[in-house]
Amino acid sequence: MITGVLDDLRAESGVLDDLVADADWSLPTPAAGWTIAHQISHLRWTDRIAALAARDPDAFAEALESATADLVDEGAREPVTLDEWRASREELAAALLAVPQGAKVPWFGPPMSPTSMATARLMETWAHGQDVADALGVVREPTRRLRHVAHIALRAFGYAFLVNGLPVPEEPVRVELTGPGGEPWAWGPEEAADRITGPALDFCLLATQRRHRDDLAVTATGPTASAWLPIAQAFAGPPGPGRERS
């Protein structure tokens, strides 16, 4: 299973690689204070720290203990070349493939299986790729890889409430999305009273906090679904600031 996710991660990385190969990396992106260079540096840094977590959990724990509150921005400020990012992608893939069967990879949030870690890296590559595409004025074609992004956002349902200091609801939520080709994607019990519906692209933009909810065609029905959408996040760490309404 992990090989398929890694193949999709390589494909998603390739789309972003093509975007930045001949771009001006000094261009600002919608992320405040981040240029295209910061976006790629962040991805390279996260690849490397994820590879470390997969190879040597003890070394990762030591790195985490010595980390500052500005860890993410510090990683984004490291100088990076395209070849260095390409190398970090392959380093991560090799490290995840070498994780023993049944072992978990420690992370900034809950530990993850290697497959889930690869899915998380795909989500983040897609999300930061959106920032780059916006900076360049490019509209990317949605693909079936969005299903990975939506899936990890659903897996982070309880986490989103916890990091916002809220109790995790017990009520299930049914999520029904329309994939890029018009195909239906669904998670959760069919009989659930709480529901979220909309295009998969819009849900992924919301969960990665790349668009304001009011700019997206995502609908919530029921109190639990309505409480989740404003705080949904597909990523580990504290809640992000989100984006302003357009």
What CATH number does residue 224 fall under?
A: 3.30.1050
Scan for tokens 């919301």, then name that residue.
Answer: 206
CA-CA-CA-CA torsion sign (12, 111, 59, 64)? positive
Burial 198-224 (b: 16+ CB within 10 A, else e): bbbbbbbbbbbbbbebeebebebebeb
Within a domain: 246: no
- Residue pair 210/130 in contact by the 8 Å Cβ criterion: yes
* Range(s) of the domain holding residue 153: 146-231
CATH number for 13: 1.20.120.450
pLDDT of residue 141: 96
pLDDT of residue 37: 97
Query: Please, is 33 exposed, middle or buried when counting C-beta atoms within 10 Å of its C-beta (0-12, 13-18, 19+)?
Result: exposed
End-to-end CA distance of the chain: 39
pLDDT of residue 30: 96
pLDDT of residue 70: 72
Within a domain: 214: yes
Which pTM does this prediction carry?
0.95
pLDDT of residue 227: 98
Residue 101's φ and ψ, nearest 5 degrees, are -55, 130
pLDDT of residue 69: 66
Q: Which residue among 136, 171, 196 closes a domain?
A: 136
- Residues 118, 11, single domain; the answer is yes
- The number of distinct structural domains making up the chain is 2
- Residue pair 42/128 in contact by the 8 Å Cβ criterion: yes
- Residues 182, 67, single domain; the answer is no
pLDDT of residue 237: 84
Per-residue pLDDT in tens (0 to 9) along the chain, 246 residues:
899 999 999 999 999 999 999 999 999 999 999 999 999 999 999 999 999 999 999 999 998 888 776 777 777 889 999 999 999 999 999 999 999 999 999 998 889 999 999 999 999 999 999 999 999 999 999 999 999 999 999 999 999 999 999 999 999 999 999 999 999 999 999 999 999 999 999 999 999 999 999 999 999 999 999 999 999 999 988 888 889 898
- Residues 118, 183, single domain; the answer is no
Within a domain: 192: yes
- Residues 27, 111, single domain; the answer is yes
- Residues 66, 155, single domain; the answer is no
pLDDT of residue 240: 81
